[in-house]
């Protein structure tokens, strides 16, 4: 794409994202933008998180999808409020799309608003949605080289969730190697190793969420 057009698009996006960030701050709601490849388990991680923390935290979800509202229905089945954004083939969510749907939530009543982005390890990274933090999700079946090959997300993310660790025995994935790549790109990145099938590591993820949500309330 022409660089000046790209710059204009990103600047317009950033401007709306900054508006959103103020609104989220006024309402003291923690906003987390979940980014990963298709099939890394973003929705499964949300389903578990929403179900397991429902009595402690008030949570809502914006679901971004190219097509279908399957994920929004899965998330809504936990009892959490879920609002669908269908990008009609588009490869990422942007701040304008988020702005259109936030009035569907009672933000002042939420502790955490999750944004589940379109499954794509590249494009969503550049489009700020006003979030407090991007969360990178990487499943062990994708290979431990992904932070090295798709560095931008891992440079910017506050946390990296290594998902599907129940499959580690059956794939060639070196958790230390993936973590080392992640830390080399971003020394402050928090790393969680989890399985939504056997619950491994979820408690560490929940502890971090509780802490971030509490910090936002201060």
- Residue 4 interacts with its own copies (CB under 8 A)? no
Per-residue mark of binding to its own copies, 112-131 (x: CB under 8 A): ------xxxxxx--------
Whether the CB-CB separation of 36 and 137 falls below 8 Å is answered with: yes
Burial zone of 180 (CB within 10 Å; 0-12 exposed, 13-18 middle, 19+ buried): middle
Q: Least distance in Å: CB of 78 to its own copies?
A: 18
- Residue 64 interacts with its own copies (CB under 8 A)? no
Structure tokens at 127: 């489009």
- Residue 171 interacts with its own copies (CB under 8 A)? yes
Determine how β-strand 159-163 pairs with β-strand 190-193.
Answer: parallel
Q: Which is nearer to its own copies, 54 or 152 (CB)?
A: 152
Burial zone of 109 (CB within 10 Å; 0-12 exposed, 13-18 middle, 19+ buried): exposed
Q: Cα–Cα distance between 93 and 120 in angstroms, integer?
A: 10
| The binder of its own copies chosen from 27, 28, 76, 166 (CB under 8 A) | 166
Q: Cα–Cα distance between 54 and 58 in angstroms, integer?
A: 7
Q: Which is nearer to its own copies, 9 or 107 (CB)?
A: 9
- Residue 150 interacts with its own copies (CB under 8 A)? yes
| The binder of its own copies chosen from 63, 128, 131, 142 (CB under 8 A) | 142
Determine how β-strand 133-139 pairs with β-strand 159-163.
Answer: parallel
Candidates 25-33, 104-112, 135-143, 205-213: pick the segment binding its own copies (CB under 8 A): 135-143
| The binder of its own copies chosen from 143, 190, 200, 210 (CB under 8 A) | 143
H or E element at residue 7: helix 3-26
- Residue 9 interacts with its own copies (CB under 8 A)? yes
Using DSSP's 3-state secondary structure scheme, residue 177 falls into helix
Number of residues counted as binding its own copies (CB under 8 A): 37
Whether the CB-CB separation of 51 and 78 falls below 8 Å is answered with: yes
Q: Which is nearer to its own copies, 81 or 164 (CB)?
A: 164
- Residue 12 interacts with its own copies (CB under 8 A)? no
Give the interface with its own copies as residue ranges (CB under 8 A): 1, 5, 9, 37-39, 65-68, 70-71, 89-91, 118-123, 139, 141-143, 145-146, 148-152, 164, 166-167, 170-171
């Amino acid at each position: 794409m022409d660089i000046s057009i790209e710059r204009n698009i990103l600047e317009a996006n950033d401007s709306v994202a900054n508006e959103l960030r103020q609104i989220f701050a006024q309402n003291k709601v923690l906003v987390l933008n979940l980014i990963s490849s298709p099939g890394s388990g973003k929705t499964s991680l949300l389903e578990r998180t929403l179900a397991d923390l429902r009595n402690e935290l008030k949570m809502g979800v914006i679901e971004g999808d190219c097509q279908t509202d399957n994920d929004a229905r899965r998330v809504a089945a936990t009892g959490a409020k879920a609002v669908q954004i269908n990008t009609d083939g588009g490869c990422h969510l942007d701040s304008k799309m988020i702005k259109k749907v936030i009035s569907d939530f009672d933000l002042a009543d939420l502790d955490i608003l999750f944004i589940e982005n379109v499954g794509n390890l590249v494009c969503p990274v550049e489009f700020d949605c006003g979030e407090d933090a991007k969360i990178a999700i990487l499943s062990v079946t994708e290979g431990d080289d992904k932070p090295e090959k798709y560095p931008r997300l891992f440079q910017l993310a506050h946390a990296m969730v290594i998902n599907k660790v129940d499959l580690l025995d059956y794939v060639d994935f070196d958790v230390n190697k993936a973590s080392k790549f992640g830390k080399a790109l971003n020394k402050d990145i928090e790393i969680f190793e989890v399985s939504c099938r056997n619950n491994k590591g979820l408690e560490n993820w929940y502890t971090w969420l509780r802490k971030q949500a509490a910090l936002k309330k201060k």
